[in-house]
């Protein structure tokens, strides 16, 4: 009924674990390099040599860390020029991009892979897991649309509520949580005229997808990073879909990234969306991210890729490792910095991602819903981002 999904995101600020780890390493190393005593001028060359002899390896490491940090921030930056160059690089060029080596972490003194993928030959034989119908008491799910009720909302341009979202009252929201055989929910696409329009040809293609990896770039933003590391089986069974708007289309075409006659750029099938419903591109971006079950009605599984990240693993392997083996329905990356929605709300305001008033409305409701201050999930930081 609801499709299962994996969300692969890099935090959209500079607080990712990785960066912090690199930062703290360089900091401690620098400290150790500083000798505590003074040296006279004549002693200096010898002293320097001695230091160099003793710590040359640290210097090399520092350089390496510096390079890594530089490369990872370059992937994270928006500068169209630098990304343009990155895309043209061959796969064996240095840096983070296009690297297939596994990410590891030390658990109990043992270095382990973060993602425990099956070996390549087994990946080739992975089938999409078809879960038996769940024992859910919900038999019918109805998405409310503007035609269901006497809705007279106008298309609001600057508001949170428009024909796309509808204008759900708190009472309606409360009712939608009640488990009954037929459940009616507001879930975006409230009205046919609500925006986020997709060509019929693209819709038809999207209806064929059983497993989808998707991403988006609206407002001219980011370049596409080509996915790599997929099995031959996934190449056959998985749709890679990138949602663009006409601004991104124009920007990318100007940079020479043209959509082919078949609708693809590399592995990505590009779907150009018309009539984005929100002024704020961050909100528009939430539509394909959160509503992939609406966009891909036949898909059983979906993986979301942040536009600043490159997807470098076999998607079926990822689903197997994160969902199928543990009988899970959702996998989400740990927040790099915060474990509290209320702290996240403060950060959202501080970074001017939304107005304090807008955030307050949401936070008040979360408190009323009794969402705990520090919500940990299996002891891990998990953060529901406001917006
Ligand atoms: C949404 O509904 C509320 C009452 O339920 C109303 O006060 C508000 O004006 C409506 N907003 C829009 C944009 O229609
Ligand atoms: C909404 O549209 C009107 C006219 O179409 C415009 O004057 C107004 O500035 C817009 N509001 C926002 C928040 O962009
Ligand atoms: C995948 O397909 C390519 C060419 O179609 C082939 O060369 C390669 O051996 C295949 N890989 C596996 C693991 O089957
Ligand atoms: C994108 O579409 C909108 C609405 O149709 C139009 O106003 C705008 O000029 C278009 N922008 C580009 C870059 O084509």
In a domain, 49, yes or no: no
The answer to whether residue 78 scores a pLDDT higher than 50 is no
Give residue 378's pLDDT.
61
Q: List phi, psi (to 5°) of 307.
A: -65, -15
Q: What is the structure's pLDDT at 286? A: 94
Q: Closest ligand 2 atom to the C-alpha of 279?
A: 14
Residue nearest atom 4 of ligand 4, based on CA coordinates: 275
Q: Whose CA is nearest to atom 13 of ligand 2?
A: 158
Residue 98 lies in a domain: no
Structural domains counted in the chain: 1
Ligand 1 center from residue 353 Cα (angstroms): 23
In a domain, 186, yes or no: yes
pLDDT category of residue 248 using cuts at 50, 70 and 90: very high
> What per-residue confidence (pLDDT) applies to 28?
35
pLDDT at 201 over 80: yes
Residue 191 falls inside a structural domain: yes
**Could you say which ligand is closest to the alpha carbon of residue 126?**
3
Instruction: Find tokens 């970074």 and name the residue.
Output: 351
In a domain, 257, yes or no: yes
Which has more confidence, 281 or 86? Answer: 281
Q: What pLDDT does 93 receive?
A: 42
Mean per-residue pLDDT, 48-64: 54
From 232, 233, 314, 316, mutation site for ligand 3 pocket: most ligand atoms within 8 A of C-beta:
232
Residue 81 has pLDDT above 70, yes or no: no
Q: What is the mean pLDDT of residues 17-35?
A: 36
Give the global pTM.
0.74
Contacts of 296 (CB under 8 A, 6+ apart): 3, 206, 207, 209, 212, 214, 239, 241, 302
Q: Is the CB of 169 under 6 A from ligand 1?
A: yes
* In-domain check, residue 316: yes
Domain that holds residue 130: 4-9+124-333
Q: Which among 151, 161, 165 is the best mutation to test ligand 1's pocket, defined by most ligand atoms within 8 Å of the CB? A: 161
- Could you tell me if residue 228 is inside a domain? yes
**Among candidates 307, 367, 362, which has minimal Cα distance to 354?**
362
Q: For residue 314, which ligand has an atom nearest its CA?
A: 3
Confidence band, pLDDT 50/70/90 cuts, at residue 338: confident
Whether 121 shows a pLDDT value over 60: the answer reads: yes
pLDDT (tens digit, 9 = 90+) per residue, 127-150?
Answer: 999 887 667 888 898 888 876 554
How do strand 268-272 and strand 264-265 relate by DSSP bridges?
A: antiparallel
* Residue 240 falls inside a structural domain: yes
Q: Is residue 44 very low, low, confident or very high in pLDDT (cuts 50, 70, 90)? A: very low
Does the beta carbon of 120 sit less than 6 angstroms from any atom of ligand 3? Answer: yes
Q: Is 246 in the pocket of ligand 4 (CB under 6 A)?
A: yes
């Amino acid at each position: 009924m609801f499709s299962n999904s994996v969300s692969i995101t890099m935090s959209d600020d500079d607080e990712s674990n990785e960066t912090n780890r690199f930062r703290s390493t360089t900091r401690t190393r620098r400290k150790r390099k500083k000798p505590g005593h003074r040296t006279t001028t004549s002693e200096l060359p010898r002293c320097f040599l001695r230091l160099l002899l003793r710590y040359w390896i640290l210097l090399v490491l520092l350089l390496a860390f510096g390079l890594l940090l530089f490369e990872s921030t370059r992937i994270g930056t928006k500068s169209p020029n630098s990304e343009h160059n990155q895309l043209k690089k061959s796969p064996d060029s240095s840096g983070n991009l296009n690297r297939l080596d596994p990410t590891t972490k030390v658990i109990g003194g043992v270095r382990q892979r973060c993602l425990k993928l099956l070996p390549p030959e087994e990946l080739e034989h992975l089938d999409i897991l078809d879960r038996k119908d769940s024992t859910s008491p919900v038999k019918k799910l109805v998405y409310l649309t503007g035609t269901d009720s006497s809705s007279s909302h106008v298309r609001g341009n600057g508001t949170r509520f428009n024909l796309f979202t509808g204008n759900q009252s708190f009472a309606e929201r409360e009712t939608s949580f009640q488990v009954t055989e037929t459940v009616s929910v507001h879930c975006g696409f409230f009205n046919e005229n609500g925006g986020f329009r997709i060509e019929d040809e693209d819709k038809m293609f999207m209806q064929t997808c059983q497993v989808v990896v998707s991403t988006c770039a609206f407002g001219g933003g980011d370049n596409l990073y080509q996915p790599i590391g997929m099995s031959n089986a996934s190449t056959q069974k998985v749709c890679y879909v990138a949602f663009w708007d006409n601004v991104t289309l124009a920007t990318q075409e100007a940079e020479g990234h043209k959509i082919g006659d078949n609708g693809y750029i590399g592995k990505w099938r590009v779907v150009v969306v018309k009539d984005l419903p929100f002024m704020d591109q961050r909100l528009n971006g939430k539509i394909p991210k959160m509503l992939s079950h609406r966009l891909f009605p036949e898909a059983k599984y979906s993986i979301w890729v942040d536009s600043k990240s490159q997807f470098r693993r076999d998607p079926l392997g990822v689903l197997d490792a994160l969902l199928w083996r543990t009988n899970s329905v959702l996998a989400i990356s740990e927040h790099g910095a915060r474990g509290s929605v209320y702290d996240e709300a403060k950060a959202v305001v501080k970074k001017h991602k939304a107005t304090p008033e807008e955030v307050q409305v949401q936070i008040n409701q979360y408190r009323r819903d009794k969402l705990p201050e520090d919500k940990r999930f299996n002891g891990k930081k998990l953060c529901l981002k406001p917006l």
